[in-house]
């Protein structure tokens, strides 16, 4: 009997998903699935990814397994649709990603060395820029972009933030902006410098909030949040996740307040602030215990 641990992945699972997709897209398959396109499935990918993130943060492993399967199904489905159009296969996409990860980890797959996490990230950004420059050169030589359009040799070189998706949620986008800027050494020198900047932004916010200028208030609040995101990043904290955990905690405690009120026959909405605050402290104390 083998004592080797089971592989964390299996081609059998992926093949099972592909077999289901084959059946759905067959002439006698599902009319709805046969009408789908990569564009029509894009919003479902976003929705399923949000559900996966929610499951991961809930700590419910069963839900994570289910939602991960849903995301994988959609990715395989979209890959199949591109393959049917003769553009690329799912295998080609995965093999291309594997090759890219090997290129971007020379300290693991080659003879390179990496002295720190910061150096690793700088190398990652440098390799990405080299990849884009090479892709531009290939396009200028007539390779095109896959749609029959040859890239112009005079195309403007790609910038640091060009690969950043425009549709990212604001907190995620702010984190990625700070992260990418840091990789090209455009950031504060120390954590203390960032803390001082947070204090400066807070004072500017207080000054703006005392005025009647709503546009200025919005700008100063945005500047404060943007700087706090960088402070968190330096501490290894992603502001989007931290805020999500905070909102979930608030929701859990608020629902606990409502449950206590129902148990005691109280009309929660009509309770005074002091009565609600007492329930809040009771729920909070029970969590701590």
Tell whether the model's pLDDT for residue 152 goes beyond 50: no
Kindly give, in sequence order, each residue whose CB lies less than 8 Å from that of residue 29, ignoring residues fewer than 6 positions away. 23
Predicted confidence (pLDDT) per residue in 239-249, tens digit: 999 999 999 99
Predicted confidence (pLDDT) per residue in 34-92, tens digit: 999 999 999 899 889 999 999 999 899 999 999 999 999 999 999 999 999 999 999 99
Domains 11-104 and 170-237 share a fold: yes
pLDDT score at 156: 60
User: Quick one: which of 43, 41, 48 has its CA closest to 82?
Assistant: 41
170-237: CATH, from 3.40.50.2300, 3.30.1600.10, 1.20.1250.20, 1.10.287.1080 = 1.10.287.1080
* Domain 11-104 of CATH type 1.10.287.1080: yes
pLDDT score at 132: 72
In the chain, where the domains are located = 11-104, 105-143, 170-237, 241-288
């Amino acid at each position: 009997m083998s004592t080797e641990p089971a592989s964390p992945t299996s081609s059998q699972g992926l093949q099972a998903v592909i077999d289901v997709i084959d059946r759905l897209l067959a002439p006698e398959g599902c009319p709805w699935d046969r009408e789908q396109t990569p564009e029509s499935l894009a919003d479902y990918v976003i929705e399923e990814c949000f559900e996966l993130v929610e499951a991961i943060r809930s700590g419910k492993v069963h839900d994570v397994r289910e939602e991960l399967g849903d995301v994988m199904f959609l990715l395989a489905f979209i890959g199949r649709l591109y393959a049917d159009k003769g553009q690329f296969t799912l295998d080609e996409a995965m093999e291309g990603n594997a090759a890219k990860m090997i290129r971007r980890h020379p300290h693991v797959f080659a003879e390179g060395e990496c002295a720190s996490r910061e150096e690793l990230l700088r190398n990652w950004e440098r390799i990405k820029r080299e990849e884009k420059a090479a892709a531009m050169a290939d396009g200028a030589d007539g390779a095109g972009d896959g749609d029959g359009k040859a890239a112009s040799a005079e195309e403007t070189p790609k910038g640091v933030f060009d690969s950043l998706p425009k549709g990212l949620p604001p907190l995620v986008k702010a984190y990625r902006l700070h992260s990418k800027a840091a990789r090209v050494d455009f950031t504060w020198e120390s954590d203390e410098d960032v803390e001082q900047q947070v204090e400066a932004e807070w004072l500017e916010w207080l000054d703006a909030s005392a005025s009647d200028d709503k546009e200025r208030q919005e700008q100063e609040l945005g500047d404060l949040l943007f700087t706090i995101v960088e402070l968190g990043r330096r501490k290894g904290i992603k502001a989007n996740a931290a805020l999500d955990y905070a909102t979930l905690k608030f929701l859990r405690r608020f629902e606990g307040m409502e449950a206590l009120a129902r148990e005691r026959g109280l009309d929660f909405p009509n309770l005074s602030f002091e009565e609600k605050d007492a329930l809040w402290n009771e729920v909070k104390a029970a969590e701590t215990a």
